[in-house]
Amino acid sequence: MKLPRLALRLLPILSVAFFALPCAQAWGPMHHAITEAAFDSLPAWQRELLAGQRQTLIEFDCMIPDLARAAANKKTIGRFVILPNGDLFTHEPHSREHNYAQMLHYFTKAVESVRANELDEASRYAGCLLHFLEDCGSPAHSMPGDNQHGFMQDLIPVPDEYKNRPLHGLIESGTLQLDLAGYRPQLLGTTPEEAVMHLTERLHAAIRNARAQVIPILQGVFRKDDAAIDAGRRRAATMDAQVAADALYSILAVAKSRFEPDEKARLDTVDVAALTPLEVINQSYFPQFSYFSNPYFGFPVRNAILEDGATKRPLALHIVENGATKAQTFERGLGLGTGCRVTYAIPLKTYERFECLVGAHATLGGTAALSFRIFADGEAVFESGILTGESPAQKVSIPVWRVREISIETQNRSTSPTPPKNYAVIAAPTLLKAPAPPKFDQDKTR
């Protein structure tokens, strides 16, 4: 059955079923505009490859997860919203593991379909992936556990006419024309697993961007200020379209093994400090962080450390060079205290090693007494022993070819009654991509 042509003929009927569904939708018709902008930003060779599917992808395939919920559509498109483990497609972010598995399923099926020259099928799977990305990047879906945004009633002044009224529809309603002119989609990986790891980070950024638009949009609604409403929606939809473009671009590049040299080179290393720790995701999506209390009540900071919990300072460690010890600053890394743990999920058989430097801050850690432990899939693979403010940094280099999670833990090791200044630093944490996976796989013992 040639579903796309049939789908276009049935679109008016299916759309009626879609809008009759009782549950709130995220973007509604905006899915079409976002998908169109994403498609039109692709390079010429990709637009030509899917030229026959462009209209169906925009008008139907990106809506399959909504349309498939109507009983009349389950026979034709129901299979596209059932995941390999039997779970149904979800329209908003859940655990990192779930998000990754759902995105990997659709990304992989789209790649396989392109390779089999089944482009209509590829468009359907890609459309489902885009729908998830676009839903997650919708302001209406950005408040965890609060789909109707009742919490907003407690945070901002609400006019009487809107009090006790579900706010979801007020946030998402409307249509916009989008144009990503000048945007160059990013290659997210050379395999589905690697690409979806980076796509997960793009998803996090889109969710936080969408959440930042909720209050401006609602304030525009309350003032009946259409310009303010559209500006907030456009900020969210534009980033949504960019993330969707990255996903589409990467699907086709992986399927055809067609990569620009500069893109491949950029993926050879990963700045781990730029990744989102699982502790963040597990605490109600992405803005929260694992708290700790020494030397200040706060959270790990990217590329800096907070002196007394208030003032940003550069990361610095004692480094031994040519037999002499000196303080060296680092642009990349995490500044944190003790009693903290950060965990990063990585794809199997993609990266060769994880490397970093760990130690007490070179200028703030005068009374420090702390230690670091690093775990690979729950197994301790590095222990620093007790480090003081005078200790040189320790270099970490561990194999991660068959590792799914890396955890870094800091501990207070002071016995003094006076609280120590445990300013801990994880400097230049980096994943190094395996240069020759097949041979490397045979050589590895882990």
Q: What is the pLDDT of residue 153?
A: 82
| pTM for this entry | 0.89
Q: What is the CATH T-level fold of the domain 278-443, as seen in this structure?
A: Jelly Rolls (2.60.120)
190 close to 267: Cβ distance less than 8 angstroms? yes
d(CA 432, CA 18) in angstroms, rounded, equals 46
Q: What is the pLDDT of residue 294?
A: 52
Where the chain has pLDDT below 70, the residues are 1-26, 281-298, 437-446
Residue 428 Rama label (left phi>0; alpha psi -120 to 50; beta):
left
DSSP 124: H
**Spans of all domains in the chain:** 3-263, 278-443
d(CA 317, CA 119) in angstroms, rounded, equals 53
Q: What is the pLDDT of residue 366?
A: 81
Structure tokens at 352: 């060769």
Please tell me the CATH code under which domain 3-263 is placed. Answer: 1.10.575
Which residues, 6 or more positions from 261, have their beta carbon under 8 angstroms from its beta carbon? Answer: none
Q: What is the pLDDT of residue 14?
A: 43
The count of other CB atoms within 10 Å of the CB of residue 33 is 20
Strand, helix or coil at 6?
helix
**What's the length of the chain?**
446
Q: What is the pLDDT of residue 213?
A: 95
Strand, helix or coil at 396?
strand
Closest CA to 44 of 241, 184, 210, 197: 184
d(CA 155, CA 166) in angstroms, rounded, equals 15
Q: What is the pLDDT of residue 27?
A: 72
Q: Which residue has the tokens 């598995």?
A: 101
Give pLDDT tens digits for 272-291: 999 988 887 665 554 444 55
Q: What is the pLDDT of residue 439?
A: 54
d(CA 366, CA 131) in angstroms, rounded, equals 52
Q: What is the pLDDT of residue 287?
A: 45
Q: Please report, in angstroms and rounded to a whole number, the separation of the first and last CA atoms in the chain.
A: 47
